[in-house]
Amino acid sequence: MNTRLAFLALCALPCLASAANTGSPFYGDPPDEHHPWAVHDQNRPQPVRVEPGTFSSQEQPGQPPSDAIVLFGGAASDLDKWEADKNPPEPTKWEVKDGILQCVPKSGYIRTKEQFADCQLHVEWSEPADIAGESQGRGNSGIFLEGHLEVQVLDNYNNPTYADGFAASLYGINPPMANALRKPGEWQVYDIVFRKPVYKEGVALDPGYVTVVCNGVLVQDHTPLEGPGGHHNRSKTGPFPEKGPLKLQDHGNPVKYRNIWYRPLPKRTVEGATEGSLSPEAALAKRAEIAQTVREDAAKLQGNAKTLRQLESLVYANDDATLKEVTASVNELVTVVKALPADKLESKKGDIMTFNNALQYLTKANDLPADFAATKELAEIVKAQGWNKKK
Ligand code: MG
């Protein structure tokens, strides 16, 4: 037995233990034309940790999640994050009192200095308890996404109006599916998911969507956009600005706001709406990227662990140099195993089964040549030992 073969036999079990402990890499259905990741792929990044916030009560606003960008959290200084919706900009005349932001009628809309696009947005608002006016004249304000599309704020607790101008409507586009409002004077909670339209060379690839949950009730269900909406005139589809401010409307009523925050969402691209299902070109590029990362990781390992990691890289993309290297390594491993006396074979069962599983998986996925010699030889050893029989 030469030095390398001895090393392979020696390090087999300890080296395997260094693999990520999130399951077998040769398990779920492999990547395909649209999916760069295998099903249950252990290389897929873990979700980013976000510390959840707390729910609001009528008496107390809740805390935002840890990665939220707070636009108004109750401090008087938070007003510095806003300005009058005028050009050139000037300070807003809206007021902060007791941790609450209040519209000063006739002072004009306000907008955030911060500009953003796709987001999860949380807004709490409250209508004057002293009811005045009717229809669109009762407690009217509004939340303008990218300064462009209005999610209506209105006292519709007991106040009919045209449906596409109702509270939680996408104004001029789509009514809410339900009236889930609390009484005027109580705090209402909107949780909004905004996805702006995706255009390429003037063609809409995705109309954009808005989802609204009002006081825990789904009222806009991934509603497709028809442009920014608007008053009186039919909305026209078209691209939205790259980014925009959040605007709050002054419609002449002293509506109150608190606890306004957002979480930016990853920009969608023309290649595909989600990371999970991509165009063939994008999937191919992502698979090459994953394969490269796995190969770089393999280069830090030794022995069987390195070989397995290299084999794993072939799940995502072929690479002639890697294939040549693993072919030599696996053939050597087979030689070692075949040279073992019968009473020592059982002690290597774990390694043999691991490699057998990997080679079977890769062969089935056409990631290894059908005539890969080691695949057949390991399968024969497994069969001869009866290890392939289910107990
Ligand atoms: Mg309005």
39 closest CA partner among 51, 24, 28:
28
What's residue 388's pLDDT?
86
DSSP string, 28-60: SPPP-SS-SS-TT-TTSPPPPP--------SSS
Chain segment 25-60, per-residue pLDDT in tens: 899 999 999 899 999 999 998 999 999 999 999 999
243 C-alpha to center of ligand 1: Å? 21
Write out the two tokens for 295. 């190969």
Token pair of 94, please? 């809206």
Say how many Å lie between the CA of residue 47 and the centre of ligand 1.
Answer: 37
CA of 153 to the centre of ligand 1 (A): 6
How remote is the CA of residue 139 from the centroid of ligand 1, in Å? 9
Give 223-227's long-range contacts (Cβ < 8 A, gap of 24+): 223/170, 223/173, 223/174, 225/149, 225/170, 225/173, 225/196, 225/197, 226/173, 227/173
Residue 145 burial class via C-beta count within 10 angstroms: exposed 0-12, middle 13-18, buried 19 and up: buried
Out of 100-109, 123-132, 301-310, 340-349, pick the least confident.
Answer: 340-349
Span from the CA of 150 to the centroid of ligand 1 (angstroms): 7
Whole-angstrom distance, CA of residue 166 vs CA of residue 145:
17
According to DSSP, the residues that pair with 72 across neighbouring strands are 260
Q: How far is the CA of 355 from the centre of ligand 1 (A)?
A: 64
pLDDT exceeds cutoff 70 at 20: no
Centre of ligand 1 to C-alpha 73, Å, is 22
Tell me the pLDDT band of 227, cut-offs 50, 70 and 90: confident
Mean pLDDT across the chain: 91
- Sequence-distant (6+) residues with CB within 8 A of 36 are 278, 283, 286, 287, 290, 316
Q: Are 167 and 176 in contact (CB under 8 A)?
A: yes
For residue 9, the CA-to-ligand 1 centroid distance in Å is 74
Q: What is d(CA 174, CA 187) in angstroms, rounded to the nearest whole number?
A: 23
Ligand 1 centroid to 188 CA: how many Å? 15
Distance 68 CA to ligand 1 centre (A): 25
CA atoms within 13 A on the CB side of 385: 23
For the chain, domain boundaries:
3-45+277-384, 69-264
Q: What is the CA(240)–ligand 1 centre distance, in A?
A: 20
- The answer to whether residues 212 and 219 touch, using CB atoms and an 8 Å cutoff, is yes
Contact 153, 142 (CB under 8 A): yes
**CA atoms of 125 and 106, how far apart (whole Å):** 19
Q: From the CA of 90, how far away is ligand 1's center (Å)?
A: 22
Q: How far is the CA of 351 from the centre of ligand 1 (A)?
A: 67
Position 117 scores a pLDDT of 95
pLDDT attached to residue 19: 41
End-to-end CA distance of the chain: 35
* Ligand 1 centre distance from Cα of residue 215 (Å): 18
pLDDT over 90 for what percent of the chain?
A: 80
pLDDT reading at 21 higher than 50: yes
Residue 339 has pLDDT above 90, yes or no: yes
CATH class of the domain at 69-264: mainly beta
Q: Give distance in angstroms: CA of 141 to centre of ligand 1.
A: 4
Distance CA 128, CA 256 (A): 8
Average pLDDT over residues 134-148: 97
Higher pLDDT, 371 or 16: 371
The CA-based angle 182-261-276, given to 5 degrees, is 105
User: How would residue 2 be classed by pLDDT, with cut points 50, 70 and 90?
Assistant: very low
| pLDDT > 80? residue 269 | no
Distance 59 CA to ligand 1 centre (A): 25
As given in the structure block, the two tokens for residue 106 are 């006739």
Distance CA 142, CA 116 (A): 18
User: CA 368, CA 365: separation in Å to the nearest integer?
Assistant: 8
Work out the pLDDT band at 16, boundaries 50, 70, 90.
very low
- Convert the pLDDT of each residue in 67-114 to its tens digit: 999 999 999 999 999 999 999 999 999 999 999 999 999 999 999 999
Chain Cα centroid distance, residue 274: 8
